[in-house]
Structure 1
Amino acid sequence: MKINFSKKTLLILLLILSVKIAGSQEKIMIDRVVATVGDKIILQSDIENQVIQIVTQGYPASENMDCEVLNQLLTQKLLLTQAELDSIQVGAGRVESELERRLMYFIRQVGSEKKLEEFYNKSIIEIKEDFRPLIEEQLKTQMMQSNLVSEIDISPRAVQKFYKDQPDDSIPMINTQYEINQILIYPSQNEEAKNEAREKLLSLRQRIIDGERFSTLAVLYSEDPGSARRGGELGFRSKDELDPEFAKAAFKLSDDGGISRIVESEYGFHIIQLIARESNQVNVRHILVIPKVDIEQKVATKNKLDSITNLIKLDSLTFAKAALKFSEDEQSRLNEGLMVNPMNASTRFALDELPSNEYSVIKDLKIGEISQPFESRDENGKIAYKIVKIKKQIEAHRANLKDDYELIEQMALMEKQMEVVDKWIEEKKKKTYIHIDDSALKCEFLKNGWIK
Structure 2
Amino acid sequence: MQQKTIILKSIKITLLTAIFGLLSVATFAQKIKIDGVAVVIGKNIVLNSDIDKFKQEVEVRSEGKIKISDCEMLEELMQQKLLAHHAIIDSVIVVDSEISDRVEKSVQYFTQQYGSVDKVIKAYGFNDLDDLKKELYTVQTENALIEKEQQNITEKVDVTPEEVRIYFNSLKDKGELPEFSAEIELAQIVVNASPTEEEIERIVNKLNEIKRQVEDGAIFKMKAIINSNDPGVVQNGGRYEVTKESQFIKEFKEMAFSLDVGQISKPFKSDFGYHLMQLHEVRGNMRVASHILMQPEIPTSKLTETRKKVEELVKDITSGKITFEDAVKKYSDDKDTKNNEGLFLNPYTGESTFDLTRMDPDLYARVAELKKGELTEVFFDQNRSGEKMYKFMIMRDRTDTHKADLVQDYVKIQELALMKKKEETVTKWSKAKIKDTYIKMSETHSKCSFEKNWKKETGK
Q: TM-score, normalised by structure 2?
A: 0.68
**What does residue 3 of structure 1 align with?**
none
Q: Which among 168, 172, 197 is matched to residue 178 of structure 2? A: 172
Residues 88-121 of structure 1, C-alpha deviations (whole Å, 9 max, x = no match): 2333333333334434444555554445555637
Distance 1:260 1:153 in 2: 54
Checking the alignment, whether the CA contact within 8 Å between 1:17 and 1:135 is kept in structure 2 is no
**What does residue 9 of structure 1 align with?**
none
Distance 2:356 2:126 in 1: 47
**What does residue 422 of structure 1 align with?**
427
Checking the alignment, whether the CA contact within 8 Å between 2:182 and 2:357 is kept in structure 1 is no
Q: Structure 1 residues 263, 298: CA separation in 2 closer, same or farther (over 3 Å shift)?
A: same
Counterparts of 1:308-387 in structure 2, within 5 Å, are 308-329=313-334, 332-333=337-338, 337-352=342-357, 355-363=360-368, 365=370, 368-377=373-382, 382-387=387-392
Q: State the shift of 1:445 in Å.
A: 1.5
Counterparts of 1:6-405 in structure 2, within 5 Å, are 16-17=24-25, 19-21=27-29, 28=34, 31=36, 34-38=38-42, 40-42=43-45, 46-52=47-53, 54-55=55-56, 65-109=69-113, 112-118=116-122, 120=125, 122-167=127-172, 170-194=176-200, 220=232, 246=251, 249=254, 263-265=268-270, 268-269=273-274, 291-329=296-334, 332-333=337-338, 337-352=342-357, 355-363=360-368, 365=370, 368-377=373-382, 382-405=387-410
Q: Structure 1 residues 303, 78: CA separation in 2 closer, same or farther (over 3 Å shift)?
A: same
Aligned-partner SS, 1:184: strand
Aligned-partner SS, 2:447: coil
Unaligned 5+ segments in structure 1 are 1-12, 223-230, 278-285
Checking the alignment, whether the CA contact within 8 Å between 1:94 and 1:276 is kept in structure 2 is no
Q: State the shift of 1:306 in Å.
A: 2.6
Aligned-partner SS, 1:74: helix
Aligned-partner SS, 1:166: helix
| Comparing 15-24 and 382-391, the one that deviates more | 15-24
Identity %: 25
Q: State the shift of 1:425 in Å.
A: 0.8
Distance 2:245 2:177 in 1: 34
Unaligned 5+ segments in structure 2 are 1-20, 235-240, 286-290
Distance 1:315 1:108 in 2: 45
Aligned-partner residue type, residue 191 of structure 1: E
Distance 2:103 2:406 in 1: 41
Q: State the shift of 1:144 in Å.
A: 1.9
Aligned-partner residue type, residue 87 of structure 2: A
Checking the alignment, whether the CA contact within 8 Å between 1:93 and 1:276 is kept in structure 2 is no
**What does residue 6 of structure 2 align with?**
none
Tell me how large the CA RMSD over aligned residues is. Answer: 5.0
**What does residue 16 of structure 2 align with?**
none
Counterparts of 1:432-451 in structure 2, within 5 Å, are 432-445=437-450, 448=453, 450-451=455-456
Q: Structure 1 residues 389, 451: CA separation in 2 closer, same or farther (over 3 Å shift)?
A: closer
Q: State the shift of 1:403 in Å.
A: 3.1
Checking the alignment, whether the CA contact within 8 Å between 1:80 and 1:144 is kept in structure 2 is yes
Checking the alignment, whether the CA contact within 8 Å between 1:35 and 1:42 is kept in structure 2 is yes
Q: State the shift of 1:80 in Å.
A: 1.9
Aligned-partner residue type, residue 173 of structure 1: E
Q: Structure 1 residues 132, 378: CA separation in 2 closer, same or farther (over 3 Å shift)?
A: closer
Residues 43-63 of structure 1, C-alpha deviations (whole Å, 9 max, x = no match): 6xx024432553477568999
Distance 1:365 1:251 in 2: 47
| Comparing 428-437 and 104-113, the one that deviates more | 104-113
Q: State the shift of 1:276 in Å.
A: 11
| Comparing 361-370 and 401-410, the one that deviates more | 361-370
Distance 2:390 2:232 in 1: 26
Q: Structure 1 residues 414, 313: CA separation in 2 closer, same or farther (over 3 Å shift)?
A: closer
Checking the alignment, whether the CA contact within 8 Å between 1:149 and 1:421 is kept in structure 2 is yes
Residues 317-374 of structure 1, C-alpha deviations (whole Å, 9 max, x = no match): 3334333433334555566545444444554444455555543333455554444422
Distance 1:377 1:326 in 2: 18
Structure 2 residue 416 is the aligned partner of structure 1 residue 411: yes
Q: TM-score, normalised by structure 1?
A: 0.69
Distance 1:195 1:316 in 2: 38
